[in-house]
């Protein structure tokens, strides 16, 4: 893929992170690690910063984008390859984190929908999936409202996560 990914929505822009925003993303990662429904394992800081230096570029199943509202990042959305389990060709795993002040306003659903559509239209996705803590009712509602369906659980880092997914065929039926 040539150039950086930028996806324009009605209210949001998904774009590469600016170098000055990486520290804020690391601080948000640290804050999220304290919340048991957010993350299973804290990422290594050097690896995290190196990954965000490539923000906006899809490489090897990894893509990190800022969720931008009126020029200000309100969170981050990404595709990634889960530790210890590869993904079949055409399968993408998505993660999303919104700042607390941005939650409950539909931004998560819009960002998820924008990225999902882009993955099907531009990245050759056949399946887009994600897992979330079974007690993360807000995220589970976002998945359902975006048309994703629950498809079992995933065991990782000694925990069970609810797994959601949507296929290309399901997406195309919703977005002809």
Cα gap 54→79, rounded to integer Å: 13
**Res 35: pLDDT:** 54
**Res 44: pLDDT:** 80
Q: What is the full per-residue pLDDT of the chain (176 aa) written as tens digits?
A: 446 999 999 999 999 999 889 888 888 777 765 455 455 555 688 888 888 889 999 999 999 999 999 999 999 999 999 877 789 999 999 999 898 899 999 999 999 999 999 999 999 999 999 999 899 999 999 999 999 999 999 887 778 899 999 999 999 999 98
- Express each pLDDT in 125-135 by its tens digit: 999 999 998 99
Q: Does any domain span residue 2?
A: no
**Res 2: pLDDT:** 45
**Res 141: pLDDT:** 96
Q: Does any domain span residue 52?
A: yes
What CATH code is carried by the domain that includes residue 49? 3.40.630.30
CA distances from 53 to 25, 37, 65, 106 (A): 12, 27, 11, 28
Q: Does any domain span residue 38?
A: yes
**Based on the number of CB atoms within 10 Å of its own CB, is 16 exposed (0-12), middle (13-18) or buried (19 or more)?**
buried
Q: Does any domain span residue 16?
A: yes
Token digits of residue 124? 């050759």
Cα gap 174→3, rounded to integer Å: 29
**Res 1: pLDDT:** 40
Domain of 105, in residue numbers? 7-174
Q: Does any domain span residue 95?
A: yes
Q: Does any domain span residue 1?
A: no
CA distances from 151 to 21, 47, 60, 111, 141 (A): 35, 30, 24, 21, 14
Tally of domains in the chain: 1
Q: Does any domain span residue 157?
A: yes
């Amino acid at each position: 893929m040539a150039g950086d990914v930028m996806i324009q929505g009605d209210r949001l822009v998904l774009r590469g992170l600016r170098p000055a925003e990486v520290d804020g993303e690391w601080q948000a990662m640290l804050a999220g690690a304290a919340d048991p429904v957010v993350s299973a394992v804290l990422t290594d800081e050097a690896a995290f910063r190196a990954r965000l230096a490539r923000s906006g570029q899809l490489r090897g199943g990894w893509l990190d984008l800022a969720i931008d509202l009126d020029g200000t990042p309100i969170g981050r959305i990404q595709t990634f390859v889960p530790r210890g389990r590869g993904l079949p060709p055409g399968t993408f795993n998505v993660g999303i984190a919104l700042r607390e002040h941005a939650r409950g306003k539909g931004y998560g659903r819009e960002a998820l929908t924008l990225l999902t559509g882009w993955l099907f239209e531009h990245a050759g996705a056949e399946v887009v999936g994600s897992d979330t803590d079974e007690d993360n009712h807000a995220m589970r509602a976002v998945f359902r409202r975006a048309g994703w369906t629950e498809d079992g659980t995933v065991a990782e880092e000694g925990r069970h996560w609810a797994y959601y997914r949507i296929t290309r065929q399901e997406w195309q039926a919703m977005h002809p």
